[in-house]
Every structure is written in C-alpha cells, then in structure tokens.
C-alpha cells in the first residue's frame, strides 16, 4: 500500500525504476572525460540528490523502511566526490554559499532530512561520521546541532535558529513540557509545508532561495519530479527527544513509519488511534488505519 496518496502505485513503480537507471547512467558517465571540469562538482552532487530522492520515492511507494539503508553508501560517495572537486573549482565565497545553513535553505533541509533518516535507520558509525563531516556547520543552529549531538556527543551547539520559519515550532515542541509536546509537534507538522513558502526578505541575511527547490513539485507529477513531501525533521526530533507523536500519525506529511517496524500490531494501532480520538481529532484515526492496514 502506498504511503503517499498523491500518486498511484504505477507512478511510483515507473519513476523508481527510472531513478535506478538514471543513477546507473550517471555513474557510468562520471567515469568519462569531462567536457567542462567546472561542472563536475555539481554533477556528482546531482548523483547524490538522485539517491536521496530515490529513498523518498521508495518510502512513498510503501516499501520496507529497512530497504532505504542501501542507498546511503552511494549517496555519501557522490557527495564526498562533489566536495573534493568543488575545492578546485569554487571560490571560497562560492563554497560558503553552497554549504552554509544560514544562507542556503536547501542545504539546511537536506542535512535535517539525512540526519533524520540516518538516526531512524541507525546507519553504521562509519557512515554517520562521513555524513556529519559533509554536513559541517557545527555550532551554527540550536535545533539541528542538538539533534546531531545526540549521536555526535562532542558537537558544539549553536545559540540561534537559522530558519525560524517553519522550525521555531519544532524547537518549541522540544523545549515544551511533556504534556504540551504532542500538540505543538502536531502544529509544526501541519504548518511545515505551508511555512516553507517564504516571502523574500527585504533586508538582512536571507537564504539563496526563499523556499526549497522541490516546493511545488506536486504540480509536476506527470513529469516524474515529485518524490513526496515528508517532514523527516519531525521524525528526527521524535527519535532523539522521545516526543509523543501520536497526534501526528496519519497527517499527510508525517513519515511516522520510519520509527515503526513492520511488526506493529493492530492492537497497538487501535490504542494510538483511540488516544487521538480522545483529543477530538477523529480524521487522524481514519487515515491511520487506512494507511497501515487498508481498513477503516
């Protein structure tokens, strides 16, 4: 059963196969002489992008979460090669703009996504260390640094939040009393996508792009651009801080299955759904049961 209702099973089958073939083709081409060496760093980064988008496509289709771990090695290899080549091509200022969490919203979200996936999938230490080295920006963000520090225990923690919109709500959920955390976490997930459609700032530091590159890809489904809109940032916080995410189960953008194994019982799901029903949010119960068991 697909986890993402915006596209049917046939869509995911078609574009997952396409992604596998595209990665294979790009890797073969990367071994050939380059017509323009200045483009090679970006080419390898696009290979890395194909890997993480494939992970989302397979999650959206409903594939086993454990199957996603196989793509981390290739992703890391391509990203490392992109960084290595970039030191020879990009100016110091260009390298900062490509890597900075403060000025590059896409980089910040990517690091948050990969951190959440890495923590949920419990990737090996060697891969984790390579990932944190690629993410960089140690001590830059009070939220993402805290989450990364749950496994990288010596990491410095930033004092400011790079992107208050939409991430202030997630930070509030982490800092809230346990009784308030489920409600605030739900508010974050509900507003996450809408608040990423950010207006251009007129002054001060702003991101290179005011909204992520993939924003609006749901309108490009026919061309295969859409890979799912999943708020892995919330999963990362739930995993690290043991937040109660029961009010988020069934929300369109919440990838709660990343934290739940395939052996979840119907009784456990009913208990969660009953808890949500008591909070007077009945639509979640329907979507949760339908998503996990195909019944209402």
45-57 residue pLDDT tens: 999 999 999 999 9
- Helix axis angle for 105-121 and 72-89, nearest 10°, is 150
CB 153 within 8 A of CB 127: no
CB 3 within 8 A of CB 61: yes
Domain ranges of the chain: 9-262
Look up residue 186 and give its two tokens. Answer: 């739900």
Quick check: 273 pLDDT over 50? Answer: no
**pTM of the predicted structure, to 2 decimals:** 0.86
257-266 residue pLDDT tens: 999 864 443 3
96-115 residue pLDDT tens: 888 999 989 999 999 999 99
Q: Whose structure tokens read 């869509």?
A: 11
State residue 198's pLDDT score. 80
CB 30 within 8 A of CB 77: no
């Amino acid at each position: 059963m697909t986890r993402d209702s915006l596209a049917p099973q046939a869509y995911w089958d078609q574009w997952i196969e396409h992604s596998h073939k595209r990665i294979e083709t790009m890797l073969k081409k990367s071994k050939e002489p380059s017509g323009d060496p200045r483009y090679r760093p970006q080419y390898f980064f696009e290979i890395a992008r194909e890997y993480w988008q494939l992970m989302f496509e397979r999650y959206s289709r409903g594939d086993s979460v454990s199957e996603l771990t196989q793509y981390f090695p290739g992703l890391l290899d391509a990203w490392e090669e992109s960084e290595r080549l970039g030191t020879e091509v990009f100016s110091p200022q260009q390298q900062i703009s490509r890597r900075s969490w403060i000025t590059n919203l896409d980089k910040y979200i990517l690091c948050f996504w990969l951190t959440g996936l890495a923590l949920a999938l419990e990737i090996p230490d060697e891969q984790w260390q390579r990932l944190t080295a690629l993410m960089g920006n140690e001590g830059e963000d009070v939220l993402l640094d805290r989450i990364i520090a749950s496994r990288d225990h010596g990491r410095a923690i930033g004092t400011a939040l790079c992107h208050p919109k939409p991430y202030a709500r997630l930070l509030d959920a982490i800092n809230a009393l346990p009784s308030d955390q489920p409600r605030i976490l739900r508010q974050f997930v509900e507003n996450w996508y809408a608040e990423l459609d950010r207006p251009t700032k007129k002054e001060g530091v702003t991101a290179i792009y005011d909204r992520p590159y993939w924003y609006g890809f749901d309108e490009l489904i026919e061309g295969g651009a859409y890979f799912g809109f999943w708020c892995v940032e919330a999963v990362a916080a739930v995993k690290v801080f043991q937040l109660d995410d029961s009010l988020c189960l069934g929300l369109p953008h919440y990838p709660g299955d990343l934290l739940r194994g395939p052996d979840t019982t119907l009784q456990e799901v009913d208990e969660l759904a009953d808890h949500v029903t008591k909070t007077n949010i009945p639509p979640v119960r329907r979507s949760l049961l339908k998503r996990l068991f195909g019944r209402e």
